[in-house]
Structure 1
Amino acid sequence: MSLGEMKCEPCRGGMPPLTDEEIEQYHRQTRSWSVIEKDGIKRLEKSFKFKDFAQALAFTNKVGELAEKEGHHPDILTEWGRVTVTWWTHKIKGLHRNDFIMAAKTDALAA
């Protein structure tokens, strides 16, 4: 099953974040996303380009609706012609499979 077909699972605090090997395994399906580290926390980040602010805002709203449906929420920066989405799991201060699932689903919204 591809990441985009999977559902997020509830994540409990106290679980370890993904290992570097696990991150690499999931990242194979989300290569257009960057694995970054900010404040000591690994995250997935990608910027999407749009023709204008209205299109960027419409995409932001779609990502927000998806986040509510899945119960997993990103950081979203909406600018004129660009939306930057950052996924990570706050409870474990790192990456979880859910973040890669949501990255794949975010790509599907942009397609």
Structure 2
Amino acid sequence: MAQLLSEEEIQQQLNNLPGWTREGAKLQCNRKFKDFVQAIEFVNKLVEPAESAGHHPDIEISYNKVKIILTTHDAGGLTKKDFDLAKVISQIS
């Protein structure tokens, strides 16, 4: 099981992760696209990195808006896995 990060470690990681916010024990990023098709194309690009990492985000889609939520469920909060995947997702357009 992945180890939970300390408050200090979480803050350090967040400082290097523009566009992401912390919501309790979760990381969250909101993206907005031109239309539904572009939003779905973006979500499809998340499949390979999530599968490779063995770590899957919760995703909410509302027309042209995508909310990505990361947490390590089995650890009960934020771990290095969440921040590693968030960094990869941040590079996807």
Give the TM-score taking structure 1 as reference length: 0.79
Among 18, 21, 24, the alignment partner of 1:34 is 21
Give distance in 2, aligned partners of 1:104 and 1:34: 13
TM-score (norm 2): 0.93
Inter-partner Cα distance in structure 2 for 1:64 and 1:53: 17
Distance 1:69 1:55 in 2: 23
Displacement of 1:101 after TM fit?
Answer: 0.9
1:8-55 deviations in Å (ceiling 9; x for gaps): xxxx16x4x211101011111113201002xxxx11001101000000
Number of matched pairs: 93
Q: State the partner residue of 1:92.
A: 75
Across the aligned residues of Structure 1 and Structure 2, the Cα RMSD in angstroms comes to 1.2
Give aligned-pair identity as a percent: 37
Moved over 4 A (4+): none
Any unmatched runs of 5+ in structure 2? none
**Unaligned 5+ runs, structure 1:** 1-11
SS at 2:83 equivalent: helix
Paired letter, 2:26 = R
Aligned to 2:34: 51
Cα displacement (A) at 1:65: 2.1
Question: Is the counterpart of residue 109 in structure 1 residue 92 in structure 2?
Answer: yes
